Protein backbone atom coordinates (compact mmCIF):
# COMPACT_ATOMS: atom_id res chain seq x y z
CA UNK A 1 0.00 0.00 0.00
CA UNK A 2 1.23 3.45 -0.91
CA UNK A 3 1.04 6.14 1.73
CA UNK A 4 2.82 9.43 2.41
CA UNK A 5 5.85 9.43 4.65
CA UNK A 6 6.04 13.20 4.75
CA UNK A 7 4.05 16.22 3.73
CA UNK A 8 5.79 19.57 3.60
CA UNK A 9 4.55 23.01 2.72
CA UNK A 10 6.87 24.68 0.25
CA UNK A 11 7.71 28.31 -0.43
CA UNK A 12 6.00 27.90 -3.78
CA UNK A 13 2.62 27.70 -2.02
CA UNK A 14 2.31 24.00 -2.57
CA UNK A 15 2.49 20.73 -0.69
CA UNK A 16 5.34 18.41 -1.41
CA UNK A 17 4.43 14.85 -0.55
CA UNK A 18 6.99 12.10 -0.19
CA UNK A 19 5.60 8.58 -0.60
CA UNK A 20 6.77 5.31 0.81
CA UNK A 21 7.75 4.09 -2.67
CA UNK A 22 10.35 6.91 -2.76
CA UNK A 23 8.40 8.97 -5.27
CA UNK A 24 7.26 12.47 -4.53
CA UNK A 25 4.51 14.62 -5.90
CA UNK A 26 3.82 18.31 -5.59
CA UNK A 27 0.40 19.89 -5.65
CA UNK A 28 -0.36 23.60 -5.50
CA UNK A 29 -2.54 24.80 -2.67
CA UNK A 30 -4.80 26.59 -5.13
CA UNK A 31 -5.41 23.33 -6.95
CA UNK A 32 -6.05 21.49 -3.69
CA UNK A 33 -8.79 23.93 -2.82
CA UNK A 34 -10.25 24.07 -6.33
CA UNK A 35 -10.41 20.29 -6.38
CA UNK A 36 -11.79 19.92 -2.87
CA UNK A 37 -13.50 16.53 -2.97
CA UNK A 38 -16.26 17.27 -0.47
CA UNK A 39 -19.91 17.20 -1.38
CA UNK A 40 -20.33 20.97 -0.95
CA UNK A 41 -17.65 21.65 -3.55
CA UNK A 42 -17.95 18.69 -5.87
CA UNK A 43 -21.62 17.80 -5.56
CA UNK A 44 -22.90 14.28 -5.50
CA UNK A 45 -24.93 11.92 -7.60
CA UNK A 46 -27.71 10.02 -6.01
CA UNK A 47 -29.37 7.75 -8.58
CA UNK A 48 -31.51 9.88 -10.97
CA UNK A 49 -30.63 13.09 -9.26
CA UNK A 50 -27.43 15.08 -9.19
CA UNK A 51 -26.56 18.03 -7.16
CA UNK A 52 -24.04 20.30 -8.82
CA UNK A 53 -22.89 23.18 -6.68
CA UNK A 54 -22.81 26.67 -8.08
CA UNK A 55 -19.28 28.02 -8.22
CA UNK A 56 -19.15 31.51 -6.91
CA UNK A 57 -16.58 33.83 -8.48
CA UNK A 58 -16.20 35.42 -5.09
CA UNK A 59 -13.60 33.81 -2.86
CA UNK A 60 -13.70 34.47 0.86
CA UNK A 61 -10.58 35.68 2.67
CA UNK A 62 -8.42 32.67 3.44
CA UNK A 63 -10.02 30.60 0.69
CA UNK A 64 -6.64 29.48 -0.61
CA UNK A 65 -4.87 29.37 2.73
CA UNK A 66 -4.40 26.26 4.80
CA UNK A 67 -5.00 26.63 8.50
CA UNK A 68 -4.33 23.04 9.55
CA UNK A 69 -3.82 19.61 8.12
CA UNK A 70 -5.05 16.65 10.12
CA UNK A 71 -4.46 13.02 9.45
CA UNK A 72 -7.51 10.80 9.16
CA UNK A 73 -6.63 7.24 10.10
CA UNK A 74 -4.22 5.73 7.63
CA UNK A 75 -6.00 6.68 4.44
CA UNK A 76 -6.42 10.45 4.16
CA UNK A 77 -5.79 13.96 5.40
CA UNK A 78 -8.38 16.56 6.24
CA UNK A 79 -7.54 20.14 5.33
CA UNK A 80 -8.91 22.96 7.41
CA UNK A 81 -8.87 26.17 5.38
CA UNK A 82 -8.60 29.66 6.82
CA UNK A 83 -12.09 30.54 5.57
CA UNK A 84 -13.42 27.82 7.89
CA UNK A 85 -14.07 25.17 5.24
CA UNK A 86 -13.15 21.80 6.74
CA UNK A 87 -15.15 19.06 5.06
CA UNK A 88 -12.56 18.16 2.45
CA UNK A 89 -11.03 14.75 3.04
CA UNK A 90 -8.18 14.01 0.66
CA UNK A 91 -7.44 10.32 0.37
CA UNK A 92 -3.98 9.19 -0.68
CA UNK A 93 -5.38 8.36 -4.14
CA UNK A 94 -6.76 11.87 -4.57
CA UNK A 95 -3.46 13.41 -3.44
CA UNK A 96 -1.58 11.24 -5.92
CA UNK A 97 -3.94 12.20 -8.74
CA UNK A 98 -3.77 15.92 -8.03
CA UNK A 99 -0.03 16.01 -7.65
CA UNK A 100 2.60 16.30 -10.28
CA UNK A 101 5.42 13.83 -10.21
CA UNK A 102 8.75 15.28 -9.21
ZN1 LIG B 1 -15.11 21.31 -0.10
Structural domain spans, the chain? 4-101
Please state, in angstroms and rounded to a whole number, the distance separating the CA atoms of residues 52 and 86.
19
Average pLDDT rounded to a whole number, residues 84-88: 96
Q: What is the pLDDT of residue 87?
A: 96
Cα of 92 vs centre of ligand 1, distance in Å, is 16
Cα of 76 vs centre of ligand 1, distance in Å, is 15
Q: What is the pLDDT of residue 101?
A: 87
CATH fold of 4-101 reads NE0471 N-terminal domain-like (3.30.2020)
Please state, in angstroms and rounded to a whole number, the distance separating the CA atoms of residues 18 and 14.
13
Work out the pLDDT band at 91, boundaries 50, 70, 90: very high
Cα of 48 vs centre of ligand 1, distance in Å, is 23
Q: Give the number of other CB atoms < 10 A from CB of residue 60.
A: 12
Average pLDDT rounded to a whole number, residues 2-29: 96
Please state, in angstroms and rounded to a whole number, the distance separating the CA atoms of residues 61 and 98.
23
Q: Which residues hold their Cβ within 5 A of ligand 1, which is an ion? A: 36, 38, 40-41, 88
Q: What is the pLDDT of residue 80?
A: 98
The model's pTM = 0.87
pLDDT digits (tens, 9 = 90+) for 20-66: 999 999 999 999 999 999 999 988 877 778 877 877 788 889 999 99
Backbone φ, ψ for residue 87 (5° rounding)? -100, 0
Please state, in angstroms and rounded to a whole number, the distance separating the CA atoms of residues 5 and 22.
9
Amino acid sequence: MIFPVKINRTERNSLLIGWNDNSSTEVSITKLRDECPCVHCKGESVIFDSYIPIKSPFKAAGFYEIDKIERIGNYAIQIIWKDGHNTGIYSWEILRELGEKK
